[in-house]
Structure 1
Amino acid sequence: MLTETKRLLLERPCTEDADGLHQICSDPRVWRHFPSLRHADLEQTQMMLDQFIAVWDRDGLGPWVVKNPSDQRIIGYGGCSAKQDMFWNLGYRFAFDTQGQGFATELAREAIMAAKLRRAELPIVAYLLEHNAASARVAEKVGLTLAHRGIDAGNPDPAAIRLVYADRELTAEELAHIML
């Protein structure tokens, strides 16, 4: 499945995407907000890619591989994934040299539209660390509002604060599932 925006190609992931995704996932500059999640080897990226493919097979929607239309280079990944059959998780990650150009916002808008077409009854959320101001700006630009702020349980940094943005008010049960 191919989706085109004004400046991006959004493609359903396939096994051939592993090397291009690994270039992004292994770059420490991409993970400055959560360094412990950086991929140390290609196997980690392959496992992530396998999960993306499984999500698409299960739900008909998941994270896209983002390509530059002019040269077909993988420049990022992201989209909405259904989690626990309770909410859509909006996520985005881009190569360091492409950050700050509005690509995450462009991707997020397309992902939200696709998720609402699939299952509009599920809330759309983006959860991120408080010090990741750029990611918070993207969430706000696409219409999500701050729904929760609290300690990020399980984070290697005990002072880390987790923010949850949502497209609607969340019930206590929804928030509990999101914070798992």
Structure 2
Amino acid sequence: MDLRPMESGDWEEMHVLYADPGVWEHQPTGVFTTVDQTKALVEFFVSGWRDDALSNWAAFDDGGAFVGHGGARLLHDRAAWNIGYRIHREHWHQGYGSTLARRGVEAAHETDPDVPVTAKLLERNEASRRTAEAAGLQLVWRGRDLGNADETAVRLVYADRELDETTLRAHTHSFMR
């Protein structure tokens, strides 16, 4: 797998990924419906590289095809690195998400080891849970996903250490910042 920092021009490949309902099976309301949503997300990742020296990578297979993205991004007013990953369905179960998560944890520890590393996910997403655990993160919280239109949604928060109350509270809501 080839990784490179996310760039502004990556929005077209990202939009194909984020507009695909199949990659949102655990959170159907997350499907991107406009290019502006995708451009804003890509710029969020680009700003992480500029401002924090770490963010999400664009990931490519050995043939150069875009498979998805992932890595660590500072969230919640710099309270935690959050590990994230989203992979095209045809590349699921090939280790891309796990590799991106592990490399994200390693890079976050190298960039600023004093900041906790987290992953927040929906309980019904078993593959994402296994990916967070494979990256060395431990379950630190389980509860209702506040802010999610689906009132039955359960949020899991994983971390590399115990989280203070403010950081934990920020991770219990269904939004990025």
TM-score calculated relative to the size of structure 2? 0.93
Paired residue for 1:73? 65
Paired residue for 1:152? 145
* RMSD of aligned Cα (Å): 1.1
Q: 2:91 aligns with which of 98, 113, 117?
A: 98
Paired residue for 2:132? 139
Q: Is 2:25 the counterpart of 1:26?
A: no
SS of aligned partner of 2:21: coil
More displaced, 30-39 or 166-175?
Answer: 166-175
Give the C-alpha shift of residue 174 in structure 1. Answer: 2.3
| Identical columns (%) | 36
Return the letter of the residue paired with 1:15. S
Q: Which runs of 4+ in 1 moved over 3 A?
A: none
Unaligned runs of 5+ in 1: 1-7
> In the aligned structure 2, how far is the partner of 1:18 from the partner of 1:172?
35
> In the aligned structure 2, how far is the partner of 1:43 from the partner of 1:173?
31
Give the C-alpha shift of residue 16 in structure 1. Answer: 2.0
Which aligned pairs between 1:46-65 and structure 2 lie closer than 5 A? Answer: 46-65=39-58
Q: 1:16 aligns with which of 9, 24, 28?
A: 9
CA contact (8 A) 2:143 2:172 kept: no
Give the C-alpha shift of residue 173 in structure 1. Answer: 2.8
TM-score calculated relative to the size of structure 1? 0.92
1:65-119: per-residue Cα shift (whole Å, max 9, x none)? Answer: 111132x221101110111111110000000100111111111111111110110
Q: 1:88 aligns with which of 62, 81, 86?
A: 81
> In the aligned structure 1, how far is the partner of 2:117 from the partner of 2:146?
21
1:41-84: per-residue Cα shift (whole Å, max 9, x none)? Answer: 222111111111111111010011111132x2211011101111
Unaligned runs of 5+ in 2: none
> In the aligned structure 2, how far is the partner of 1:28 from the partner of 1:9?
25
> In the aligned structure 1, how far is the partner of 2:33 from the partner of 2:78?
31
SS of aligned partner of 1:150: strand
SS of aligned partner of 2:22: coil
> In the aligned structure 2, how far is the partner of 1:100 from the partner of 1:43?
30
CA contact (8 A) 2:59 2:70 kept: yes
